[in-house]
Amino acid sequence: MTITLRTVLGWRDIASVADGAPLSLAPPVRERIAYASRIVERIVETGVRAYGVNTGVGALSDTVVDRQSQSRLSRNIILSHACGVGLLLAPREVRAIIAAEIANFAHGHSGVRLEIVNHLAAFLDKDCIPDVPSRGSAGYLTHNAHIALVLIGEGSARVAGKAMSGREALAAIGLEPVVLGAKEGLSLVNGTACATGLSSVALGRAERLLAWADAIAALTLEAAGCQVSAFDEPVLALRPSKGIALVGASLRSRLKGSGLVAAALGRRTQDALSLRAIPHAHGAARDVFDTSAAVVDRELASVTDNPVVSGTPENPVVSSEAHAVAPALGQAADSLAIAIAQIAAMSERRMDRLVNPLVSGLPPFLASDAGSNSGFMIAQYTAAALANENRRLAAPASTDGGLTSGLQEDFLAHPTAAANKLLALIDNAEYILAIELMAAAQAHDFLGASGTRAEGTDAIYRMVRNRIGHYGDDRPLSGDMEALRNLIRETLPPELTK
């Protein structure tokens, strides 16, 4: 489905474009972009002092650049700011950044020519993905610069998956390198498109992860013989929370009609907290998700250039401000990272209860022949290692310090670092949940005579068994982990029964 930009885009739109949906610009958007470009042209003609238009950038903001050098300034900004290092971003992450950048220009306060936006839109339309190193950004500059390199025929890219130089990539999609005008270099590296795009991708993945967390927890609860009364609606309503209510309803629906749960009624006074507190931890994560999503949507509705242009071509106004700084965005990504780290840690604890013969009531380590078989003993090690790594990744980036540009930029909010860290943490969480899912399905294999599964959990079990079989120490477990991680990453769990 084509995403049409008419006023503003939301994070779901950016995530859809990241996953390959086409992006089109409505005529009023094109008109706004062109109008802002005419304002910049007038600023150049009149010589009104404007940061990044006819001055240097950063600590060089008081250095005036003559009119003949302003195009060279734009090009030089791109070349000098392309300082990223490390592994390349995934194509969908680059697509998200480009889409967010177009959305920012569409507000009509950046001043880039429509030609620039058309080139960026062509990158999306024709699968031209600039090579963007993932590391080295204190805010937004380096990632954006590597995308802009390809616009001017520099850098490198992949077109339909084939690696080539920036100039070759442009030729492959029928375009010529752009000669940048005044302010365009600064606009292309400026703003929060990088962190906003990456955060939109993270939100899409996190939403799917949270849905799976509830579904997998239900399968584990059933295998563990949970005391389902802890999730009764009146009980959970005593702690008001939209998230708790949603998760409680999900668990009740998944477990409705379970013979295994009925057989376990009264077996324990109360379950361990990794079972009993699922609505509270998963619900808190859902509440944090909603808040973080609102922050990203607000960012996309905002102009994040510095400077911004306004007024009219006859009476141009240029305003230096700090809209490119995004403390709220960094804090939102950090908050969601903490929430997901917590539910992943809880998942590892549940998985341990399934394999631990001291508490499970099941064969040790879910092994078919304990002793000669190790079953899922070491899979729990993997989950524990990833949960520990997530604890380190959950440390907030938004509180990091750093001084740049000769004390001119003496406060950094680190939203891009926070978004990158969130994506890495989601990677780990997907694996942890996949390991719990694998163990829960194995546990159910030993419970056939104890009672029937609920319809809602049986659908999950069958989805697992359609991808991997019962484990008997007959193959490397890593393959099963990858298969279920891909299931969690690429699909949604079966729908709840009505």
The catalytic residues are: 51
- How far apart, in whole angstroms, are the C-alpha atoms of residue 184 and residue 72? 11
Structure tokens given for 271: 């379950």
Residue 194 dihedral angles phi and psi, to the nearest 5°: -65, -55
Interior angle at CA 291, CA 20 and CA 301, nearest 5: 55
Q: How many CA atoms lie within 13 A of 312 on its CB side?
A: 2
The residues facing 318 across adjacent strands are 309
3-class DSSP state of 172 = helix
Structure tokens given for 56: 């240097």
The letter for the amino acid at 223 is A
Structure tokens given for 14: 């950016």
Burial of 45 (0-12, 13-18, 19+ CB in 10 A): exposed
Say if CB 97 and CB 150 are below 8 A apart: no
H or E, element range at 211: helix 193-223
The letter for the amino acid at 368 is S
Q: Go through the chain and tell me how many residues it has.
A: 498
The residues facing 317 across adjacent strands are 310
- How far apart, in whole angstroms, are the C-alpha atoms of residue 355 and residue 441? 12
CB atoms within 10 A of CB 452: 16
- The side-by-side arrangement of strands in the sheet containing 128-130 is 128-130, 156-159, 162-165
**CA proximity to 471, closest of 381, 357, 363, 382:** 363
Q: Where are the beta strands (DSSP E) in 131-232?
A: 133-135, 156-159, 162-165
Structure tokens given for 441: 């399905």
Specify the pairing of strand 156-159 against strand 162-165: antiparallel
Please give the biggest Cα pair distance in the chain. Answer: 85
